[in-house]
């Protein structure tokens, strides 16, 4: 291993973690196909992975997690800044000294009987000045497979690292094995589950969970919680945003970034098949954007990831045909159902369930049993390069220029289909005002309305009041004409009978068309107290029951919204920028005028 690693700091860190965790073996990952195949073979033998039918899903596998290890665990996620106020009121805080003491105890001997994997990985296109290198140490082969699909992992990342700095992350399932002890298919230890971030030292420690962003430390831990701190300190943005390219029938192309809480349609929008003739969407990324200003004063974005960790339920050829094509091969499916002929199935896949399935719990499932066959937060992991509409500039080291930024959430009322902010400051206020009905992506009650500013509530690595201030400061770094325009959308309005007012999915291209034409100076808008709404939206060839209601501004409901926001913003105390308070007061004044 030493001959492959030229970075003294990395060698020293690996030795320290090895001494602490006491693994049986050490493996430095090279990211090769041979390595991937070897690990999948081991996991099939261990009963963790089940190969899928080679004709239906070549190169793909099914696995299921522990029933108590299925989602983000925000109650076990900590920001360990030196000062509590730097973590802010929306994060769980522990002092670095206290947390480090706890972690040293938890990690002591935690990898006995297991292999310690060293995963060097690059977040962002290889060779991009915007990219960063991380190194994850883990005892989970499942993590290795997912990190290979989700990041640019292995020797290429190690070569780019050289003697430079890296973000260290150490992960363990927290289940050491005694000599001769048989392992379980999904080792985890919910009793000790802890995901800790150290903003000052840029380090990540995670133990007890083997699932998703709790274990794939390049994802939310590095790409958002630590990267948001890097962005604050260095003058750029790390955001929970998709990036798409939108091309008009005339061949003009613009890039749009959009922030939605998890499981609110980001992947569907990022991979949309427009219903409007001649319009084309291409996908740069479906979850995270790192954005910084270029020499021309415009905001440029890269996708730090190289794969998709998408929600399976509801994904079908009707809702997202491009996602279905993407996951047709070389995909890891976690917590979906398994058919008798070794295919996968989930609720909303667009075809009837077979009479019998193996559920995500590993139980025999029959049609009409009343239980979900797939977990609501079941996932697929797959390389971005398999996406049939992968944008040709997705790997461009410079990134892509962003013309518009969209915020949105899952709201059954109040918020209209789309409206545009008056300016960057007002747009920042809109981002700070995002609230959404909760989904299965996070552990806890579903359908409850919660504030989720910028869709970053679980992911901001520092005080969110200071995060709002950082957005405001970014708007002053360039001429206003260079800034992206900011929009707010809501695909989820319902009528009095509980039916969705808007068809969504590919029809969302009609909203994107209006945004595109607004940015181009071609589409007209009507000024309202909350922002600009379309003077006209393209409803050609579709039937919408109540188009007026889609854009109705219920002043009484909005006044209640401002009262709720006023109460919420008090949470941030002196850290709330005065500009956010001013925008709230201005909105109230417009609503009462």
Q: Residues 547-572: pLDDT tens digits? A: 999 999 999 999 999 999 999 999 99
CA distance 228 to 231: 5
- Judged on CB neighbours under 10 Å (0-12, 13-18, 19+), 418 is buried
The CA–CA distances, whole Å, from 4 to 136, 144, 158, 243, 487 equal: 16, 18, 8, 35, 48
Q: Residues 11-56: pLDDT tens digits? A: 999 999 999 999 999 999 999 999 999 999 999 999 999 999 999 9
Q: State mean pLDDT over 283-305.
A: 98
Residue 225 is given by DSSP the state I
Residue 402 is given by DSSP the state E
Place of tokens 């021309």: 296
CA distance 411 to 262: 14
Q: State mean pLDDT over 501-524.
A: 97
Q: Are 510 and 538 in contact (CB under 8 A)?
A: yes
CA distance 374 to 345: 7
CA distance 541 to 88: 49
Q: Are 509 and 281 in contact (CB under 8 A)?
A: yes
Confidence of residue 441 (pLDDT cuts 50, 70, 90): low
CA distance 440 to 348: 15
Q: Residues 346-368: pLDDT tens digits? A: 999 999 999 999 999 999 999 88
Q: Which of 29, 63, 264, 387 is catalytic?
A: 264
**What are the phi and psi torsion angles at 102 (to 5°)?**
-60, -45
Question: Is residue 141 scored above 60 in pLDDT?
Answer: yes
pTM: 0.97
pLDDT at 446: 55
* 264 has catalytic annotation: yes
Question: Is residue 504 scored above 60 in pLDDT?
Answer: yes
Rounded CA Rg of the chain: 24
Going along the chain from its start, the domains and CATH numbers come out as 8-47+72-235 (3.40.449.10), 238-305+391-592 (3.90.228.20), 309-386 (2.170.8.10)
Per DSSP, the three-state class of 419 is strand
Mean per-residue pLDDT of the chain: 96
Q: State mean pLDDT over 158-173.
A: 97
Confidence of residue 442 (pLDDT cuts 50, 70, 90): low
pLDDT at 443: 57
Q: Residues 295-317: pLDDT tens digits? A: 999 999 999 999 999 999 999 99
- Other CB atoms within a 10 A radius of the CB of residue 528 amount to 16
Q: State mean pLDDT over 245-267.
A: 94
Confidence of residue 262 (pLDDT cuts 50, 70, 90): confident
Which of 556, 545, 538 has the alpha carbon at shortest distance from 413?
Answer: 556
């Amino acid at each position: 291993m030493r001959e492959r690693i030229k970075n003294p700091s990395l060698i020293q860190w690996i030795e320290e973690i090895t001494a602490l965790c006491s693994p049986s073996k050490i493996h430095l990952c090279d990211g090769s196909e041979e390595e991937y195949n070897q690990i999948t073979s081991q996991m099939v033998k261990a009963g963790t992975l089940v190969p899928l039918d080679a004709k239906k899903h070549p190169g793909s596998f099914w696995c299921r997690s522990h029933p108590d290890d299925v989602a983000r665990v925000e109650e076990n996620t900590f920001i360990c800044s030196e000062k509590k106020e730097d973590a802010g009121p929306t994060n769980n805080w522990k002092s670095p000294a206290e947390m480090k003491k706890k972690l040293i105890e938890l990690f002591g001997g935690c990898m006995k009987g297991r292999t310690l994997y060293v995963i060097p990985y690059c977040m962002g296109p290889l060779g991009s000045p915007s990219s960063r290198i991380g190194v994850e140490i883990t005892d989970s082969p499942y993590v290795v497979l997912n990190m290979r699909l989700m990041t640019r992992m292995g020797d290429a990342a190690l070569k780019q690292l050289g003697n430079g700095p890296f973000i260290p992350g150490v992960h363990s399932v927290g289940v050491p094995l005694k000599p001769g002890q048989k392992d379980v298919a999904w080792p985890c230890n919910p009793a000790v589950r802890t995901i800790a971030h150290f903003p000052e030292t840029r380090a990540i420690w995670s133990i007890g969970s083997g699932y998703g962003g709790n274990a794939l430390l390049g994802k939310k831990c590095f790409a958002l919680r630590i990267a948001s701190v890097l962005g604050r300190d260095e003058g750029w943005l790390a955001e929970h945003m998709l990036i798409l390219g939108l091309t008009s029938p005339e061949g003009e192309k613009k890039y749009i970034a959009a922030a939605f809480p998890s499981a609110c349609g980001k992947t569907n929008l990022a991979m949309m098949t427009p219903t409007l003739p001649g319009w084309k969407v291409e996908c740069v990324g479906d979850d995270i954007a790192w954005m910084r200003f270029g020499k021309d004063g415009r905001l440029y974005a890269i996708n730090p990831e190289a794969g998709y960790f998408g929600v399976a339920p509801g994904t079908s050829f009707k809702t997202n045909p491009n996602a279905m094509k993407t996951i047709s091969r070389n995909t890891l499916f976690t917590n979906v159902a398994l058919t008798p002929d070794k295919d996968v199935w989930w609720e909303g896949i667009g075809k009837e369930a077979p009479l019998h399935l193996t559920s995500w719990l590993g139980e025999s499932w029959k049609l009409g049993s009343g239980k979900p066959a797939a977990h609501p937060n079941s996932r697929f992991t797959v390389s971005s390069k398999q996406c049939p509409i992968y944008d040709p500039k997705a790997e461009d080291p410079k990134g892509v220029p962003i013309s518009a930024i969209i915020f949105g959430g899952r709201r059954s009322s109040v918020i209209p289909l789309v409206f545009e902010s008056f300016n960057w400051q007002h747009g920042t206020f809109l981002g700070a005002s995002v609230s959404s009905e909760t989904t299965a992506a996070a552990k806890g009650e579903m359908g409850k309305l919660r504030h989720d500013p910028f869709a970053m509530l679980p992911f901001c690595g520092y005080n969110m009041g200071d995060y709002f201030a950082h957005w405001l400061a970014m708007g002053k770094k360039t001429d206003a004409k260079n800034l992206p325009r900011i929009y707010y959308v809501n695909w989820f309005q319902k009528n009095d009978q509980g039916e969705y007012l808007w068809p969504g999915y590919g029809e969302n291209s009609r909203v994107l068309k209006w945004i595109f034409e607004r940015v181009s100076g071609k589409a007209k808008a009507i000024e309202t107290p909350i922002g600009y709404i379309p003077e006209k939206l393209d409803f050609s060839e579709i039937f919408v029951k109540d188009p007026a209601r889609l854009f109705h501004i219920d002043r009484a409901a909005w006044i209640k919204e401002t009262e709720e926001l006023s109460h919420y913003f008090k949470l941030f105390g002196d850290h709330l920028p005065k500009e956010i308070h001013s925008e709230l007061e201005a909105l109230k004044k417009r609503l009462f005028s």
